[in-house]
Amino acid sequence: MTLNALNAAGFNDQTDSPAAMVARHQLPLRAVAIPGDGIGPEIMDSVQRILVAGGALIDWTECAAGATARGDAAGLPAETLDAVASAGLVLKGPLATGIGTGGKSANVTLRKHFELYANVRPARRLPGIVTPFADRDIDLVVVRENVEDLYAGIEHMQTPDVAQCLKLITRAGSAKIARAAFAVAKAEGRSKVTCASKANIMKLTEGMFKQAFEDVAAAHPGITADHMLIDNLAHRLVMMPEDFDVICTTNMNGDIISDLTAGLVGGLGLAPSANLGSHMAMFEAVHGSAPDIAGQGKANPTALLLAAIMMLRHAGKMGAAERIEHALYVTLEEGVDLTADMATPRRITAASTSAFADRIISNIGKRSAQCPAAPVAPLRLERCTPQTVAVSAPGKRSDAGMDIFVEYAGSPQELAACLRAATTNLPFTLAMISNRGLKVYPGAVPQADFADHWRCRFASRAPQDDLPQDQLCELMTRISTFARWCHVERLQIIDGTPGFSVAQGQ
């Protein structure tokens, strides 16, 4: 890179020698830029200009995704996936996703395709931003599992009026996100990691997550580890947000809680995000594409800029990240040329997206007393080989029976009578019927509303290594004469512990 090019990019040859500048910046980062939909191209352009001015030299490959990827049903053309795989580093604007209908989210597909299992969402009070919590010392990070849980997106219509979504939690995935949370704490010099779960209700799925976290925590005695139920944590975040440092949680819990923490410090327009895996990292603004203001120069690029700062630190470009972050903080402190969402009645008329970016560029080289200390080290996650086999020994297992889910329009008493008759001369007994998780047989029938979807639990008269397939098929054939079966679940006993839940009231 020539001296003129360096000066044009915003470097000062009064303070840096040309040789030093060339040596330090002759190997730019390789990264993919996905501008995205709606306001995405506008904020991407502003952020890229700020990065150049701050000394972050990046060799960009621009790719399309989301609604801009016309002609590709998934919103992720093969050339985009190839470029991302090659670079291993992505800065992404917002992608439009349909709600309730249509195809899969391109955002989620990117995370799952590249096993970006750790979603890191910092929430830190920014100067000059007016919020109900502006006077609170909020500085925390949500580390969210990013590829499992309900967001596996495995759904089925069980009956025309009953839909099901499978909540998948793996021991390996839970341990990986727990290790990532402690890696964040170590990189940023933080002292506490809080696991948030709903293990009191979902004892198998969220309970496994909690246990995996506690196993990992034992290897980090220098960092305080605790557990909190997710609903209590939401309450405490509003009451005492200063109490939290790093929060580790499951996918859906983390999605909700990280938006809550963003609201504490000014909203999604100021919320950056990192999606990290063992071999690739993607940084993004978490807000939507805001098509109602697209092309009008009103968008706030702060979230994407903060994400870009995270990207620089991930890549080890600590100096450029610090210069740009200080310039942003100085701009927010001055309160001049801010976009409309950050302006207040006492400030001058709101500025455009590009004018806000120009103001930050003009402040590069200035220092803010309110800017937080930089992380002590770049964040690095352990390199994991893809898991294709179980990580735990199979242990001793036996089948205690099965749950057969059926569609039936009659009363629970009528269904029970039919099911009992269906077990005649078969090695199964009807143990329980539930509706929407509530036991309706045996015993008194609750005064509740019933759906046409019933869990019918059959116990094996003699638990064994495997269910007798021919007799199970015979039972289902008999059931099919009076009800429509939806699916079947084995009731496993694993190392002496039941691997299934009981119904409410059972």
| DSSP 3-state of 273 | strand
Closest CA to 454 of 416, 387, 407: 407
CA R_g for the chain: 27
Helices then strands, each counted (H, E), the chain? 14, 18
For 27, counting Cβ atoms within 10 Å of its Cβ (0-12 exposed, 13-18 middle, 19+ buried), the class is exposed
> In the beta sheet, which residues pair with residue 488?
404
All residues at 6 or more sequence positions from 353 whose CB lies less than 8 Å from its CB, including other chains? 42, 43, 46, 297, 298, 299, 300, 301, 339
Q: Which residues are catalytic?
A: 151, 198, 231, 255
Using the 8-state DSSP alphabet, how is residue 108 labeled? H
Crossing angle of helices 318-334/40-53, nearest 10°?
110
All residues at 6 or more sequence positions from 71 whose CB lies less than 8 Å from its CB, including other chains? 77
Find where tokens 């007393």 sit. Answer: 369
| DSSP 3-state of 194 | strand
Crossing angle of helices 230-239/251-264, nearest 10°?
10
Cβ pair 372, 141 in contact under 8 A:
no
Cα–Cα dist 249/196, whole Å: 5
The letter for the amino acid at 242 is E
Cα–Cα dist 279/43, whole Å: 27
| DSSP 3-state of 19 | helix
For 357, counting Cβ atoms within 10 Å of its Cβ (0-12 exposed, 13-18 middle, 19+ buried), the class is buried
End-to-end CA distance of the chain: 73
Cα–Cα dist 73/414, whole Å: 47
For the chain, the farthest-separated pair of C-alpha atoms sits apart, in whole angstroms, at 94
> In the beta sheet, which residues pair with residue 404?
456, 488
Ramachandran angles phi, psi of 397, nearest 5°: -130, 145
Alpha-carbon torsion, ordered 275, 281, 282, 286, to 10 deg: 20
Closest CA to 344 of 139, 137, 134, 45: 134
CB atoms under 10 Å from CB of 179, counted, come to 21
Instruction: Please state the separation of Cα 295 from the chain's center in Å.
Output: 29
